[in-house]
Each structure stands twice: as C-alpha cells, then as structure tokens.
Amino acid sequence: MVQPIQKILVTGGAGYIGSTTCVALLEAGFSIVVVDNFSNSSRTPLDRVLEIAPGSLVTYEVDVRDTQGLGEVFAVESVDAVVHFAGLKAVGESVANPLNYYDVNVGGAVALLQVMQEHDVRNLVFSSSATVYGDPEVSPIVESAPLVGTNPYGRTKLIIENMLRDLAAADPSWSIACLRYFNPVGAHPSGRIGEDPLGVPNNLMPFIMQVAVGRRKDLVVFGGDYPTPDGSCIRDYIHVMDLALGHLAAIRALGDISGCEEINLGTGTGSSVFEVHEAAQRAVGETIPMRVGGRRPGDAASCFADTSRAMRLLDWRATRTLDDMCADAWRWQSQNPTGYQ
Ligand code: NAD
Ligand code: UFG
C-alpha cells in the first residue's frame, strides 16, 4: 500500500516562494523539514511562518550540494516527499557567472536526487519556470510547446527538467511534478512574509513597490513599442499564495502521478506592464512615478499560460486577481520597507 505523505522536506524553504508554501503546507497539517543554506534568505521568514501557521517545522542549515549533510537529514527525518525550491534565479547574474548557476542549480539537483534515491524517497515537486519556453511563438502556452534555454539560468532549469524525465523513464516508481511557474508576485496577506530582493530588484513588482515606498525614483517601463495592445510586454502574474496552494495540490496529486508530469502554474490571463502599474497605483492610493524607456534585451512580447493541465491533474486554479496581488505586495512592502532587515 502507498504510504500517505505526512512529512515534507522543503529545500529553499526560507525563500520567497518556499516560505509562503511552508505556510500552506503547515495549514494543511503537514510536518515540514526545511533545508536552506540562507545564501539568499535568513531564519526570520521561518520564524514568521510559524507565527502565521504554528505547526511542526524544523530547519537544517545545509547546502543542497552537500550530499553528506543532506544524507544526515534524511537519516534523522523520515520524509515522504520533497519540494525542491533551493537554487539561484537571477537571469543577469547567471549570464555573468554561469558556473555558479550550473553548480548550485544542476549540482544541487543531482545531489538531492541521489540522496533521495538512496533513502527511497521518490516523491518530488520541482520548481521549474516558464523560462523553459524561451520566447514563445504563441500564448497561451501549453506544456508541449517547444523548450529552449535562452540564458544560463533557463538552461539550468531545462537540464534539470531533462534529468527528471530521464530518471522517471529509468525508474517509474518516481512521482514527479515539475511545476513551471509564470510570474509569481504578491505576498502572504498578513504582510509578514514576502519577496525581499537584495540590491536593485530585477523584477517588475518589487521594483514598483520600492518606488511606491520611496526607495527608488521611478519605474522605467522596458519598451512601449511591443506588438501588444498598449505597447508594453504582457506576462501572466500569479499571486504567490495561489502558487503555494498549487504546490499543496501537487503534493496531494503525487499519488496519481507515475513518472514526471510538467504542469504550468499561472492564471491563464496576461497583464501588460502599464496594467500592473495602474493596479499598483490603485493599491497604494497614490501616483507611482513612471517613464517609458528602451526595451530590455531578451524580453518576450507576450507570455501567458494555458492552465488546463493544472486544472485536470491538480484540480487547482488560481483565484486571486491582479488587484489582490498588488494589495498584498503593498501591505508587505509598506509594513517592511526594507524587507526583513
Ligand atoms: P529565493 O531566492 O527567495 O529562495 C531560494 C532559497 O533557496 C533561498 O532561501 C536560498 O537561501 C536557498 N538556496 C539557494 N541556494 C541554496 C543551496 N545551494 N542550498 C540550500 N539552499 C539554497 O527564490 P524564490 O523566488 O523563492 O524561488 C524559488 C524557486 O522557484 C527557485 O528554484 C526559482 O528558480 C524558482 N522560480 C522562481 C520564480 C520567481 O519569479 N521568483 C519564477 C520561476 C521559478
Ligand atoms: N519590467 C519593466 N521594468 C522593470 C522590470 C520589469 O518594464 O523595472 C518589465 C519587463 O520588461 C517584463 C515585465 O516587466 O516585460 C516582467 O518582468 P520581470 O523581470 O518581472 O519578469 P520576466 O517575465 O522578465 O521574468 C520572470 C522571472 C524569470 C523567468 C521568467 C520566465 O523573473 O526568472 O519570468 O518565467 F525566467
């Protein structure tokens, strides 16, 4: 008989998406073992996770590339499944320092999978990204669309995805949900945990929120001459709470997954940069300075998900609106103007 999943190891659980997912998992009654090396986070989000959702959560400061350290965790904690968030995620940084990205992302995944195999744990939810679709020819994007890595970060995700497919083909006792996130934004509605980028944010929502809170002068819209209705790029922004609930749904669906399933997590609706800016102004209740600048190299004009697979396999859909995303992002930013510091 298949054992029900009770204890989940969450790598990168102190990060933005990981900490929000820990809340969802604790509220659903799971026990959690977090493994994080805190290279892009601290223990504070985990303390706040437990404030929001008191429950069973233990933390190990271990690097996912460290097979010995990971093995010790698996030996002590009998986990039933792993959610693998840990990794590096900045496209520009991956171009400047590709070896570090291959080492942490690909090396970390290899090490984790080896230790999981040794300890007979074959239930995995993996953080992939819509970046694997490159510059998509059509949106909505279905999971069978062509895959292409357009930068080192994207190529690490593609390599890991291929590795997971090879592993599942070699041993179908693996149950793997490979979740391709679109654009996660927003924060837990408590305002206690959220996205805390180091330095100048690369992503749109944290940048807008830092302008709104007075940390940056103005938002520069990267290109107003794209072939879209208002000329700015279109993306599928998804509330991080919806994303967290998508992971919960994936954990619950693992028992029905044999092998590796790729699943888009998005809303299925695209919003332009100008629309996000307007929604952010509604949430903040003030004008947010903005100007239109040149295009950012590598940006696709339009990218949004076909979400039918997630509905079918996970019985999950995103329910939160762009206004919800901006309201929660603003609550987090205004209550924590300098993030966790
Ligand atoms: P994050 O940086 O906030 O969280 C990642 C966590 O992993 C951090 O706590 C960091 O300290 C930890 N970590 C990094 N390297 C580690 C290592 N070698 N060993 C142990 N821990 C390590 O990032 P996030 O936004 O929460 O993203 C989580 C995952 O989702 C990543 O794999 C990312 O590629 C993927 N993803 C993110 C987005 C996004 O826009 N945020 C989009 C698509 C996919
Ligand atoms: N943008 C601006 N000004 C800014 C920041 C962003 O106009 O200051 C625009 C971008 O040009 C883009 C949109 O806002 O049109 C969203 O940009 P993000 O950087 O927030 O998100 P991307 O879609 O470019 O990238 C995200 C993740 C990547 C991932 C990719 C595909 O950050 O890691 O989605 O999944 F690879």
pLDDT reading at 3 higher than 80? no
Question: Residue 77 Cα, ligand 2 centroid: separation in angstroms?
Answer: 38
Rounded to 5 degrees, φ, ψ at 175 are -120, 110
Q: pLDDT digits over 26-66, tens only?
A: 999 999 999 999 999 999 999 999 999 999 999 999 999 99
Q: Counting atoms of ligand 2 from 1, which one is nearest the CA of 154?
A: 36
What pTM was computed for the model?
Answer: 0.98
Q: pLDDT digits over 213-264, tens only?
A: 999 999 999 999 999 999 999 999 999 999 999 999 999 999 999 999 999 9
Q: Are strands 7-11 and 81-84 parallel, antiparallel or unpaired?
A: parallel
The answer to whether 153 is a known catalytic residue is yes
Place of tokens 């659980």: 13
pLDDT value for 296: 94
pLDDT value for 2: 65
Ligand 2 cavity residues, CB under 6 Å = 89, 91, 129-131, 183, 202-204, 207, 219-222, 233, 235, 273, 296, 299
Domain ranges of the chain: 7-187+237-268+305-319
Report how far residue 319's alpha carbon sits from residue 148's, in angstroms, rounded to the nearest whole number. 29
Do 9 and 81 touch, CB atoms closer than 8 A?
yes
Q: Are strands 259-265 and 175-181 parallel, antiparallel or unpaired?
A: parallel
Q: pLDDT digits over 186-198, tens only?
A: 999 999 999 999 8
pLDDT reading at 20 higher than 60? yes
- 158 pLDDT band (50/70/90 cuts)? very high
pLDDT reading at 332 higher than 60? yes
Question: Residue 48 Cα, ligand 1 centroid: separation in angstroms?
Answer: 18
Give 81's contacts (C-beta < 8 A, 6+ positions apart): 5, 8, 9, 121, 123, 124, 125, 251, 254
Rounded to 5 degrees, φ, ψ at 118 are -60, -35
Strand partners, 58: 33
Strand partners, 154: none
Q: pLDDT digits over 282-319, tens only?
A: 999 999 999 999 999 989 999 999 999 999 999 999 99
Q: Which CATH class is domain 7-187+237-268+305-319?
A: alpha beta
Ligand closest to 303 (CA) is 2
In the set 101, 153, 226, 237, the catalytic residue is 153
Question: For the chain, how are helix, strand and coil distributed in percent, rounded to 5?
Answer: 40, 20, 40
Ligand closest to 228 (CA) is 2
Do 59 and 53 touch, CB atoms closer than 8 A?
no
Q: Closest Cα to residue 21, out of 107, 81, 76, 64?
A: 81
